[in-house]
Amino acid sequence: GKVHYYDFVVKESNFTKLCATKSTLTVNASFPGPAIRAHKGDTLYVNVYNQGTYGVTIHWHGVKQPRNSWFYGPEYITQCPIPTGTNFTYQVLLTEEEGTLFWHAHSDWSRATVHGALVILPADGTTYPFPMPDAEQILLFASWYKEDVMVLMDEALRYGGLTVLSDSYAINGQPGDFYSCSKDTTFRMWVDYGKTYLLRIVNSVQNTDMFFTIADHNLTVVGWDGSYIKPLKMSYIMITPGQTMDVLVTANQPLSHYYMLASPYFDGQADDFDKSITSAIFQYNGNYTPPSSPVWPTNIPGFYDIGAAALFTTRLRSLASKEHPIDVPQSVDTRMFVTVSINMMRCPNASCAGPDGNRLASSLNNISFANPSLDILQAYYRNISGYFDENFPNKPPNLFNFTSDALLTDNVTLSDQGTRVKILDYNETVEITFQGTNVMNSGENHPIHLHGFRFYVVGTGLGNFDNMSDPLTYNLVDPPEANTVPVPKDGWATIRFKADNPGVWYMHCHFDRHMSWGMDTVFIVRNGPTEETKLRPPPAYMPPCGADALAGLQ
Ligand code: C2O
Ligand code: CU
């Protein structure tokens, strides 16, 4: 493979959207940030200069990075933030993935405007498992806030609650026709009649899944999360934050332009639903008849269409072919059952302003994850105790009826706080069933994302998981591979993977408000027996951690 070098300058820059100008953190002053294009087998060196006013990190979302946790990016998990005025060079090994992924900031909520596509083309001498498209187009979905995201995060941490909805969504940085002062800049994708386009779709929205569709055009999904899948013809897609999809579309309709829409699956602005849809235009080159009135998609699922969201995921299948083989674990060494909940927690300090000394929180197995002051990777590698506990449980502490509010006791509505990680042996096979819950009457989808692996999604369903009958429905033949799985509202999803990547790997809900409320944990995969199965040694320089943590290092 080839080696590519990039400079990412992280800095504030001004943007005017929704009739207002604000300064926000970007890479190289662009929103979305620069797209990276490379081939499978290549290596990237990305030198990140932090010219912003607070520490940041950059994450290579969905890249396995074998044994290379040092360059993974989640703050306080594999590194401390890059301090203002300094730089850090990431090494990114594109060994296994192919298709579309993305990179984004992985500190606090700065992902909002610090993100960009990562396009991984087939390795030299190989090609797509579908006919060569005529051209391709990145479509990146994001949230736009008039307010500073750090202020919003601070509010979310002090009060909880839904004070953190976006003011608009955006396709390639543009809010689209439905929002004030946006009509002139609506994103247009220019197409030629008769050609087929590969859409590389990235959802980097902060806090909701999106439905996407193009009026009068069929979508054929051919890739998910950096691997190809069996072609799936759909009139819409459902894509969660953290997911990426490759979709073919043929420009074969008679009029000059058609609307594309991305609309939220869940959004507290439901009363005002139309305003939270972002639009873009699929525009034909040449002299075609303009429509007499705008051509809107008629098939986009509505707000809270749980069925449409769940159905989409269940239809994805990996290629599982000779050229694209898969290796689904047929037996399981460690089985975990993990509840995914919104709940309350005792305020950790006086700055919190929730009711009764509590605030809204979220949890996995009733534990709200707390970031340590020294990154877990360093604490683990250097054997420094006191920064994490190795006792993340294999199941929740209480059994209850997950999808109904009944039978909730205080120790289910109130989570524990801690930095509790799960240790795995090298090459152990793991199965995790995630159970969405309705604790606090707040069931929603949760896109659970795992670093360091692509896992197989072997099953998903609505309601309470039944450990007698549901495992009988598992697909162990051609399940799709992914890095982010939607755990349906009041439903469940089961994944399997082999712990063949030694290192420290974060797992979290890809809604930023849930991640910062504690819907996360960490896997530490022990070294294997040989040099090639051990975590690589750290680079000579890692960004320093805070004074406290540094004292602990001595
Ligand atoms: Cu895209 Cu840990 O995140
Ligand atoms: Cu969530």
Select from 28, 187, 154 the least CA-distant residue to 103.
Answer: 28
Closest atom of ligand 1 to 484 CA is 1
Alpha-carbon distance of 398 to 245, in angstroms, equals: 37
Distances (CA, A) of 152 to 267, 529, 540: 16, 46, 36
Distant-in-sequence, close-in-space partners of 449: CB < 8 Å, separation ≥ 6: 61, 242, 483, 484, 507, 508, 509, 510
Distance 242 CA to ligand 2 centre (A): 12
Q: Which residue has the tokens 């820059």?
A: 13
Distant-in-sequence, close-in-space partners of 478: CB < 8 Å, separation ≥ 6: 230, 317, 318, 319, 320, 326
Select from 440, 418, 270 the least CA-distant residue to 359.
Answer: 440
The residue whose CA has the least distance to atom 3 of ligand 1 is 61
Closest atom of ligand 1 to 73 CA is 2
Distant-in-sequence, close-in-space partners of 485: CB < 8 Å, separation ≥ 6: 313, 434, 447, 448, 455, 457, 460, 493, 495
pTM summary value: 0.96
What pLDDT, on the 0 to 100 scale, is given for residue 357?
76
List, as one string, the DSSP characters of 187-216.
-EEEE-TT-EEEEEEEE--SS--EEEEETT
548: confidence class by pLDDT, cuts 50, 70, 90:
low
Contact between 107 and 55 under an 8 Å Cβ cutoff? The reply is yes
Alpha-carbon distance of 200 to 246, in angstroms, equals: 5
Q: Which residue has the tokens 């996407």?
A: 212
Displacement of CA 316 from its chain's centroid (Å): 18
Backbone angles phi, psi at 232, to 5 degrees: -125, 115
pLDDT, tens digit, 9 for 90 and up, residues 78-133: 999 999 999 999 999 999 999 999 999 999 999 999 999 999 999 999 999 999 99
Tokens encoding 527: 């070294």
Alpha-carbon distance of 91 to 160, in angstroms, equals: 36
Give me the domains of the chain, ranges plus CATH numbers. Answer: 1-126 (2.60.40.420), 130-318 (2.60.40.420), 334-553 (2.60.40.420)
Distance 59 CA to ligand 1 centre (A): 7
Ligand nearest to the CA of 73: 1
* Residue 549 predicted with pLDDT over 60: no
Tokens encoding 112: 């909002």
Closest atom of ligand 1 to 62 CA is 1
Strands (E), 379-476: 416-418, 421-424, 429-436, 446-450, 455-462
What pLDDT, on the 0 to 100 scale, is given for residue 440?
79
* Residue 483 predicted with pLDDT over 90: yes
What pLDDT, on the 0 to 100 scale, is given for residue 535?
98
3-class DSSP state of 244: strand
Q: Which strand ranges, in their side-by-side order, compose the sheet holding 446-450?
A: 421-424, 520-525, 503-509, 446-450, 484-487
What pLDDT, on the 0 to 100 scale, is given for residue 272?
43
Helix or strand run (H / E) with residue 258: strand 257-264
Closest atom of ligand 1 to 242 CA is 1
Tokens encoding 208: 């909701």
Ligand nearest to the CA of 444: 2
* Residue 35 predicted with pLDDT over 50: yes
Closest atom of ligand 1 to 241 CA is 1
What pLDDT, on the 0 to 100 scale, is given for residue 337?
98
Q: Which protein residues touch ligand 1 with a CB less than 6 Å away?
A: 59, 61, 74, 104, 106, 242, 449, 451, 506, 508, 510
Alpha-carbon distance of 496 to 26, in angstroms, equals: 36
What pLDDT, on the 0 to 100 scale, is given for residue 554?
47
Alpha-carbon distance of 164 to 147, in angstroms, equals: 10
Ligand nearest to the CA of 62: 1
What pLDDT, on the 0 to 100 scale, is given for residue 300?
84
| Greatest C-alpha distance within the chain | 73
271: confidence class by pLDDT, cuts 50, 70, 90:
very low
Q: Which residue has the tokens 């795995």?
A: 424
Distance 176 CA to ligand 1 centre (A): 26
Distant-in-sequence, close-in-space partners of 170: CB < 8 Å, separation ≥ 6: 17, 141, 142, 143, 144, 176, 278
Alpha-carbon distance of 104 to 384, in angstroms, equals: 29
pLDDT, tens digit, 9 for 90 and up, residues 130-165: 999 999 999 999 999 998 999 888 888 887 655 556
408: confidence class by pLDDT, cuts 50, 70, 90:
low
* Residue 438 predicted with pLDDT over 90: no
Distance 514 CA to ligand 2 centre (A): 5
Ligand nearest to the CA of 105: 1
Tokens encoding 402: 């997950």
Distance 538 CA to ligand 1 centre (A): 21
273: confidence class by pLDDT, cuts 50, 70, 90:
very low
Backbone angles phi, psi at 8, to 5 degrees: -110, 115
pLDDT, tens digit, 9 for 90 and up, residues 189-247: 999 999 999 999 999 999 889 999 999 999 999 999 999 999 999 999 999 999 999 99
551: confidence class by pLDDT, cuts 50, 70, 90:
low
Whole-complex ipTM: 0.98
Contact between 73 and 58 under an 8 Å Cβ cutoff? The reply is yes
